Amino acid sequence: MTDRVVIRPLRMDEREAWEPLWQDYLTFYKSSVPDETTAVTWQRFHDDAEPMYVLGAFVDDNLTGIVHFLYHRSCWTVGNYCYLQDLFVNEGARGHGVGRKLIEAVYERAKAAGASRVHWLTQFENARAQILYDEVADRSGFMQYRKIL
C-alpha cells in the first residue's frame, strides 16, 4: 500500500473529506470539540499568517490519514520546534505504512522550515501507535502535566 500513498497539504475545498477523520480521531481519544473550534481550526490550516498545517494521506485518491502540526518558539534553540499535534489513520489503513509516511512528511517540512525538532504526545494506552513511534523517534523520558483552564 505504501507505494500508492500520496502525502500532500489538504486544500480548502477538502474539508468534507477531512472532517470525518478529525471526528474519528476525537472519538478515538474519547474527546470532542465544539463545531466552532473545528471551523476555526480548518480556517487556520489555510491562513498563511498561522503556523498550523494539515497534510493528508491519499490512497487511490481516497483520504485515509491526516496529520496536523504547528511551529512554536523554544527557549532551548534559536529555531522553532515542530509539534505534531494530531495523527490519525483510518482503521483499515493502519499497519500499512500510512502513519509512517505522514510522520516522515512532517519531518521533511520541519527540516525545510529550519525547525530543530519534531515532538508529539500519545496516551500511555496507545500501544499500537507506540510500536511505530518507537521506530521513527526517541522517547523523551518526560511526562506531560497540564491544568485545563
Burial of 92 (0-12, 13-18, 19+ CB in 10 A): exposed
What pLDDT score does 130 carry? 86
Closest CA to 126 of 35, 33, 25: 25
pLDDT mean values, one per 10 residues, the chain (149 residues) = 86 97 94 96 97 96 96 94 96 87 97 95 85 87 82
What pLDDT score does 1 carry? 56
Q: How far apart are CA 113 and CA 116, in angstroms?
A: 9
What pLDDT score does 2 carry? 65
The structure's pTM equals 0.92
Q: How far apart are CA 102 and CA 81, in angstroms?
A: 17
